[in-house]
């Protein structure tokens, strides 16, 4: 099959903040890309934010997906990707006619995660933005060692919001890297985040938590990942750090004015190695692209070894037709330690 010659169902933007399930052409692939027949997709906060803020028509929403390779670009080595292979990954949805909430999606072959047979498509769909963001933050920006060569000394790291999608992966990667993991959650999820690898967990709603983390780390905490990065959390994370300060990686843009505290804003899309124009302009970062290629292999390896747990699935009915309901559920703050997931074959009019 060649892109363009066939049509598919997809969640397409209308240019006014709204979207609809439409029939559009299958996107074409470039030489280094693969075309994936999408089986399952999951939803990120950025999906509804992009729909609302990037008000252009004819773009396809959705970033995270899992499915089967349907076509391979001419420059993709046969040893790398093959038709029929199971893969997962993410792209930047909502800014082009290529998005994950569709029957077919295009991704750079080097950034696709080979999915072990033990991992279902629904689980594989959880491995996109959140998983790559955790790796990019811990390894590229906080400079921690990777699980292949874990730390000899269990350096403390704070993952603020261990139940968020990014936090769940960050806890697991940090633990696999030999770090001592401090995190926050609501009390009903304390055991859940401990099972992921957290050494110590604190109630994020308790105003004493930053002081408790400071005490528990004996004032030695120098590294943190703020998986919420809004309202009170940047201050709470900053207060948890050592008196000399440290580095906080934030997932929304934020600059600390506290002496000794360095903030670095992470943007998962930098792993594509291309200039970015939304949500803000950012030139291509070649190192992040090179790292992203390594993360795809690392994620696949850890999955096949049974060392990485995908996020608990919250399956929504009606496939892609359910995206509006999923957006409302997420915007209402109903997502608790889970990931909204849609099976494409559940979409009305899509062949199973
Ligand atoms: N820059 C990037 O590349 C990038 C990448 C990924 C995500 N993000 C952004 O990062 C944010 C998180 O995304 P996500 O998908 O990881 O989150 P998510 O899974 O939607 O987060 C939901 C979880 O956050 C917890 N939570 C809410 N407020 C909290 C607080 N004040 N402290 C601690 N935990 C809190 C909730 O706990 P309860 O269960 O107790 O309600 C819930 O379990 C979003 O703003 C997203 O847009 C940015």
Q: Would you say residue 59 lies in a domain? A: yes
Q: Would you say residue 22 lies in a domain? A: yes
Instruction: Give residue-wise pLDDT tens across range 303-350.
Output: 999 999 999 999 999 999 999 999 999 999 999 999 999 999 999 999
Q: Are residues 100 and 219 in the same domain?
A: no
Q: Are residues 98 and 159 in the same domain?
A: no
Q: Would you say residue 275 lies in a domain? A: no
Q: Number of folded domains in the chain?
A: 2
Task: Provide the pLDDT for residue 5.
Answer: 62
Task: Provide the pLDDT for residue 351.
Answer: 82
Looking up residue 237, the CATH number of its domain turns out to be 3.40.50.720
Query: How far is ligand 1, taken at its centre, from the CA of residue 228, in Å?
Result: 5
Q: Would you say residue 294 lies in a domain? A: no
Is the distance from the beta carbon of residue 236 to the nearest atom of ligand 1 less than 6 Å? Answer: no
Query: How far is ligand 1, taken at its centre, from the CA of residue 308, in Å?
Result: 19
Domain that holds residue 15: 7-127+310-346
Q: Whose CA is nearest to atom 10 of ligand 1?
A: 251
Q: Would you say residue 115 lies in a domain? A: yes
> In the listed set 270, 299, 331, which residue is the last one of a domain according to the structure?
270
Give the number of the atom of ligand 1 that is nearest the alpha carbon of residue 166: 16
Q: Are residues 164 and 60 in the same domain?
A: no
Is the distance from the beta carbon of residue 204 to the nearest atom of ligand 1 less than 6 Å? Answer: yes
Task: Provide the pLDDT for residue 54.
Answer: 96
Q: Are residues 107 and 27 in the same domain?
A: yes
Could you tell me which of 300, 267, 271, 277 has the C-alpha nearest to residue 113? 300
> In the listed set 270, 294, 320, which residue is the last one of a domain according to the structure?
270
In a 3-state reduction of DSSP, which class is residue 282?
strand
Task: Provide the pLDDT for residue 3.
Answer: 45
| Long-range contacts (CB closer than 8 Å, 24 or more residues apart) made by 264-273 | 264/141, 266/133, 266/136, 266/137, 266/141, 268/90, 268/129, 268/132, 268/133, 268/136, 269/92, 270/136, 271/111, 271/132, 271/136, 271/295, 272/91, 272/92, 272/108, 272/111
Tell me how far apart the alpha carbons of residues 194 and 109 are, in angstroms, rounded to a whole number: 35
Q: Whose CA is nearest to atom 9 of ligand 1?
A: 251
Q: Map tokens 């001592």 to a residue.
A: 180
Task: Provide the pLDDT for residue 160.
Answer: 98
Positions of the chain with pLDDT under 70: 1-5
Q: Are residues 50 and 91 in the same domain?
A: yes
Task: Provide the pLDDT for residue 352.
Answer: 76
Query: How far is ligand 1, taken at its centre, from the CA of residue 193, in Å?
Result: 14
């Amino acid at each position: 099959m060649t892109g363009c010659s066939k049509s598919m169902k997809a969640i397409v933007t209308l240019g006014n903040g709204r979207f609809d399930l439409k029939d559009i052409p299958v996107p074409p692939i470039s030489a280094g890309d693969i075309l994936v027949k999408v089986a399952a997709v999951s939803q990120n906060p950025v999906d509804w934010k992009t729909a609302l803020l990037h008000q252009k028509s004819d773009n396809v929403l959705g970033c995270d997906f899992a499915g089967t390779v349907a076509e391979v670009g001419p420059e993709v080595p046969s040893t790398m990707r093959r038709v029929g292979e199971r893969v997962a990954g993410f792209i930047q949805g909502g800014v082009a006619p290529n998005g994950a909430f569709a029957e077919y999606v295009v991704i750079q072959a080097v950034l696709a995660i080979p999915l072990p047979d033990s991992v279902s498509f629904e689980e594989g769909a959880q491995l996109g933005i959140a998983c790559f963001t955790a790796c990019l933050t811990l390894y590229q920006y906080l400079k921690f060692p990777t699980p292949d060569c874990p730390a000899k000394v269990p350096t403390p790291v704070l993952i603020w919001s261990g139940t968020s999608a990014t936090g769940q992966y960050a806890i697991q990667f940090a633990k696999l890297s030999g770090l001592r993991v401090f995190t926050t959650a609501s009390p009903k999820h304390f055991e859940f985040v401990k099972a992921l690898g957290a050494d110590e967990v604190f109630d994020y709603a308790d105003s004493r938590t930053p002081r408790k983390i400071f005490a528990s780390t004996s004032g030695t905490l120098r590294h943190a990942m703020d998986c919420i990065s809004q309202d009170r959390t940047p201050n709470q994370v900053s207060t948890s750090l050592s008196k000399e300060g440290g580095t906080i990686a934030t997932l929304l843009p934020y600059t600390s004015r506290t002496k000794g505290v360095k903030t670095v804003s992470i943007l998962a899309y930098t792993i594509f190695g291309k200039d970015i124009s939304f949500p803000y302009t950012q030139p291509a970062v070649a190192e992040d692209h090179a790292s992203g290629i390594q993360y795809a292999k690392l994620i696949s390896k850890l999955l096949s070894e049974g060392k990485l747990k995908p996020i608990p699935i919250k399956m929504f009915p009606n496939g892609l037709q359910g995206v509006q309901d999923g957006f409302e559920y997420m915007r209402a703050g109903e997502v608790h330690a889970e990931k909204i997931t849609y099976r494409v074959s559940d979409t009305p009019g899509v062949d199973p």
